């Protein structure tokens, strides 16, 4: 296809796509039968990449009941959210104990709300499930209790910690369909994702392959996860880092964790370490110092980072994947719950960049919004939902915010650009960058092209002739 009159790096030009690549740029004549997009001076960007998403969990959430902030903020609202007609499993997500005044419900409490159908509710952290008695009965009939199923006074409480693999096995569940999530990402101009689920192995690799082949997943895919990923045929996806998910309350034995890092090295892979507390970051840095950090090793989230820890990250040459939108989405809770001395250390961005650390952005969906434009805006404003600014010195420019989503998924130091020979993964905006940078709003996305195919075309934007779209976005 030919894209005519697009703004690329501030210059108006035409861009021709041949197959899955950008073929040429300049003042180009339309060829006979060549599909044409009239860009009307709109900015043409590389397609955005979500560098940290949990796609299966994001898809599953669409069939779930919201049970926490911002939609559910009180015990009364929590009870109402679970009053759903039906007889099968009821799956809730996003619960936070602040809804119940700091209380974590047990099976007995949930039974008083819903007693006639099995209920499982995921905590907002993604690390815990809350089960009622019917849910416990069904799960324990299918599989023996795991270590993470809490027991007090000889009875199971219904609180399940860090046992997603056991839960999936006991439920006999299959991975969800990605079509709706893929279409939503396309609407935001996202043409690539890195799935950072630590349990990703051969089963999930086959599922991703099948979804791409069926036209249900239109984005390019990088899979991070377990050592088992290296055994799966890389069909329609590229292998990413080995994911190490740290939990401050139960840090792994240091030598065991180091052996995991060394297994990644033996596979030629980098390492990505989940760090949402200062203790976890200290552990991760010591681990990567002992494991001889390599270019491409990543710290995920970097939720709390003092200046001295940022300096250690820089000395090791580490990259960082950040979620600046968490300040907008969770900032008020952070201000209420986080130790005051750590408030300036929350979700740094500018300090990381100034230290020379390669930084990219990821949604962490379903635990954060999947909209990268909202995250870019949050990176500029550093503002909570109530208008409080957190870490004003961590704000960055619109261009730096955009670059968070233009980084090469396997090398954050390389920023992708629109140029001949580059992949035809593109995001066309309805207006020039000079105006779009003032808004950073997903409504400005006019079209998304992935692998040379149109996967999204905004209904309310018509600066070009309508073209056939790829499968998942067609609805």
Contact partners, residue 182, CB within 8 Å, separation at least 6: 216, 217, 218, 219, 472, 473
pLDDT at position 126, please? 86
| Coil, helix or strand at residue 256 | helix
From 261, 273, 267, select the one nearest 313 (Cα to Cα).
273
Same domain assignment for residues 166 and 200: no
Reported in sequence order, the residue ranges of 162-310 that DSSP labels E, i.e. its strands, are 190-195, 220-225, 238-245, 271-275, 298-301
Q: Supply the range of the domain harboring residue 137.
A: 64-171
* φ, ψ for residue 403, nearest 5 deg: -60, -25
Cα 88 from Cα 325, distance rounded (Å): 35
Same domain assignment for residues 232 and 349: yes
Cα 95 from Cα 328, distance rounded (Å): 18
Cα 113 from Cα 121, distance rounded (Å): 13
The CATH number linked to 153 is 3.10.310.70
Same domain assignment for residues 214 and 340: yes
Residue 7 burial (CB count, 10 A):
22
Cα 119 from Cα 63, distance rounded (Å): 13
Same domain assignment for residues 152 and 187: no
Query: With the C-alpha atoms ordered 64, 123, 275, 224, is the resulting torsion angle positive or negative?
Result: negative
From 426, 430, 389, 384, select the one nearest 406 (Cα to Cα).
426
Burial class (CB in 10 A: 0-12, 13-18, 19+), 322: buried
Same domain assignment for residues 153 and 230: no
Asked whether the bond before 321 is cis by omega within 30 degrees of 0, the reply is no
Residue 267 burial (CB count, 10 A):
14
Same domain assignment for residues 164 and 181: no
From 175, 168, 177, select the one nearest 212 (Cα to Cα).
177
Same domain assignment for residues 222 and 354: yes
Give, in order, the Cα–Cα distances in Å from 398 to each of 43, 268, 441, 447: 14, 35, 11, 20
Domain boundary at 171, 195, 222, which? 171
Give the helix/strand (H/E) hosting 400.
helix 398-403
Please answer whether residues 201 and 228 qualify as being in contact, where contact means their C-beta atoms are separated by less than 8 angstroms: yes
Cα 265 from Cα 287, distance rounded (Å): 13
From 176, 179, 178, select the one nearest 168 (Cα to Cα).
176
The CATH number linked to 401 is 3.20.20.140
pLDDT at position 463, please? 46
Instruction: Tokens for 390, please give them.
Output: 């957190």
Same domain assignment for residues 231 and 311: yes
pLDDT at position 87, please? 83
Residues in the chain: 475
Residue 135 burial (CB count, 10 A):
28
Burial class (CB in 10 A: 0-12, 13-18, 19+), 357: buried
pLDDT at position 165, please? 85
Same domain assignment for residues 41 and 75: no
Cα 415 from Cα 405, distance rounded (Å): 9
Same domain assignment for residues 16 and 85: no
Query: SS3 string of 364-387?
Result: CCCCCCCCHHHHHHHHHHCECCCC
Same domain assignment for residues 84 and 134: yes
Cα 287 from Cα 264, distance rounded (Å): 13
Flag residues of the chain having pLDDT under 70.
460-475
Domain boundary at 382, 415, 448, which? 415
Burial class (CB in 10 A: 0-12, 13-18, 19+), 139: buried
Cα 307 from Cα 221, distance rounded (Å): 34
pLDDT at position 346, please? 97
* φ, ψ for residue 238, nearest 5 deg: -115, 150
Structural domains in the chain (count): 3
Please answer whether residues 127 and 161 qualify as being in contact, where contact means their C-beta atoms are separated by less than 8 angstroms: yes
| Coil, helix or strand at residue 135 | helix
Same domain assignment for residues 158 and 71: yes
The CATH number linked to 432 is 2.30.40.10
pLDDT at position 284, please? 98
- pTM attached to this predicted model: 0.86
Domain boundary at 171, 188, 218, which? 171
């Amino acid at each position: 296809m030919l894209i005519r009159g697009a703004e690329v790096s501030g210059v108006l030009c035409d861009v021709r796509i041949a197959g899955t690549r950008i073929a040429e740029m300049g003042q180009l004549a339309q060829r006979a039968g060549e599909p044409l997009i009239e860009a009307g001076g709109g900015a043409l960007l590389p397609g955005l990449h979500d560098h940290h998403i949990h796609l299966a969990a994001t898809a599953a959430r669409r069939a779930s009941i919201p049970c926490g902030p911002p939609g559910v903020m009180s015990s009364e609202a929590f009870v109402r959210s679970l009053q759903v007609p039906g007889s099968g499993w009821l799956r809730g997500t996003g619960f936070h104990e602040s809804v119940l005044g700091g209380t974590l419900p047990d099976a007995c409490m949930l039974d008083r709300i819903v007693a006639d159908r099995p209920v499982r509710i995921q905590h907002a952290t993604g690390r815990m499930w809350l089960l009622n008695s019917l849910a416990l009965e069904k799960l324990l009939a299918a599989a023996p209790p795991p270590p993470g199923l809490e027991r007090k006074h000889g009875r199971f409480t219904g609180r399940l910690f860090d046992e997603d693999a056991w839960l999936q096995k006991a439920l006999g569940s299959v991975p969800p369909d990605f079509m709706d999530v893929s279409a939503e990402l396309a609407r935001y101009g996202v043409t690539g994702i890195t799935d950072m689920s630590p349990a990703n192995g051969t089963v999930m690799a086959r599922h991703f392959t099948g979804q791409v082949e069926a036209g249900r997943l239109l984005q390019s895919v990088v899979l991070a996860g377990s050592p088992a990923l290296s055994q799966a045929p890389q069909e329609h996806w590229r292998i990413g880092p080995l994911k190490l998910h740290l939990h401050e309350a139960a840090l792994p034995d240091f030598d065991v964790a180091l052996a995991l890092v060394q297994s990644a090295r033996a596979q030629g892979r980098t390492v990505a370490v989940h760090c949402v507390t200062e203790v976890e970051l200290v552990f991760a840095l010591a681990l990567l110092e002992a494991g001889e950090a390599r270019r491409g090793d990543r710290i995920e989230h970097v939720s709390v980072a003092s200046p001295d820890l940022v300096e250690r990250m820089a000395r090791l040459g580490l990259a960082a994947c950040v979620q600046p939108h968490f300040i907008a989405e969770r900032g008020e809770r952070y201000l209420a719950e986080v130790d005051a001395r750590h408030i300036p250390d929350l979700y740094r961005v500018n300090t990381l960049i100034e230290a020379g650390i390669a930084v990219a952005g990821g949604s962490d969906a379903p635990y954060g919004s999947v909209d990268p434009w909202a995250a870019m805006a949050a990176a500029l404003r550093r503002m909570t939902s109530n208008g409080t600014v957190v870490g004003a010195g961590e704000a960055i420019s619109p261009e730096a915010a955009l670059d968070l989503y233009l980084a090469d998924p396997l090398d954050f130091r390389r920023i992708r650009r629109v140029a001949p020979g580059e992949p035809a993964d593109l995001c066309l905006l309805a207006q020039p960058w000079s105006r779009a940078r003032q808004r950073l709003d997903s409504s400005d996305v006019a079209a998304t092209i992935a692998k040379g195919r149109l996967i999204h075309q905004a209904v309310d934007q018509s600066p070009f002739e309508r073209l056939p779209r790829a499968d998942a976005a067609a609805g």
